[in-house]
Amino acid sequence: MKALVIYTYPNHTSLNYAFLQKVIKGCQENLNIKELQVLDLYKENFNPVLVFNEYKRRRDMHVDSSIQKYREQITWADKIIFVYPIWWGRPPAMLIGYIDQLFASNFAYRDKKGLFPEGLLKGKSVVCVSTMKGPTHYPLIWLNNSHKILMKKALFSFVGIKKVKFFEFGNMESPTGNQEKKLEKVYQYFKRVGY
């Protein structure tokens, strides 16, 4: 199995970075994972801003040469792992901009006659590791699980990815947030996860 980790947080001394390190360590110790790539969107200076004009059209995003290497990473990966915070009930704008550009028509999905498009990323799996300052159940109770619905149904299912797992950790800025226990949980999961 080939795994791609997409990290979206600007600080390398943060708890999110600690989660990234646990994901990497677990993947490196996992006998099922033969190859691993890590994409740090902030370190990469990824430009999340969509630009469409008379020279750059939305329908041509699947062949945009400026993001070709990112398309190749997604194509290469069997498992895609996202590590990011939840800010205001959703992933950071940097990650949303990445998704807007990479999960484009004729790369991630293809329009066809009928109600639903054809997902072109079938066979891949996704794991989302996210942290938030608020309580663990805040997204469920106050936001009707909009984060998971956005990621699982509106995005991954749409492009053909059916196997999606979430780790949503709340109270991460609290002294009683059990950060070490949650870091260990993520490490153990990636150390033993199959496809």
| Residues 110-153 pLDDT 10s | 988 877 789 999 999 999 999 987 556 555 555 556 777 788 88
Q: What confidence score (pLDDT) does residue 58 get?
A: 79
Distance, CA of 54 to CA of 23 (rounded, Å) = 42
Whole domain around residue 135: which residue ranges?
2-192
> For the chain, what is the domain count?
1
- Residue 67: predicted pLDDT: 95
Question: What is the residue-wise DSSP string for the chain?
Answer: -EEEEEE--S-TTSHHHHHHHHHHHHHHH-TT--EEEEEETTTTT-------SSSS-GGGGGG-GGGHHHHHHHHH-SEEEEEEE-BTTB--HHHHHHHHHHS-BTTTEE--SSSSPEES-TT-EEEEEEE-SS-TTHHHHHHTTHHHIIIIIIIITTTT--EEEEEEE--TTSTTS-HHHHHHHHHHHHHH---
Q: pLDDT of the chain along its 195 residues, tens only?
A: 999 999 999 999 999 999 999 999 999 999 999 999 999 999 999 999 988 888 877 788 888 999 999 999 999 999 999 999 998 878 999 999 999 999 999 999 998 887 778 999 999 999 999 998 755 655 555 555 677 778 888 899 999 999 999 998 876 677 666 889 999 999 999 999 865
Token pair of 17, please? 């970075």
Residue 147 sits in a domain whose CATH number is 3.40.50.360
The whole-model pTM stands at: 0.91
Are 121 and 108 in contact, with CB atoms under 8 Å apart?
Answer: yes
As beta bridge partners, residue 26 has none
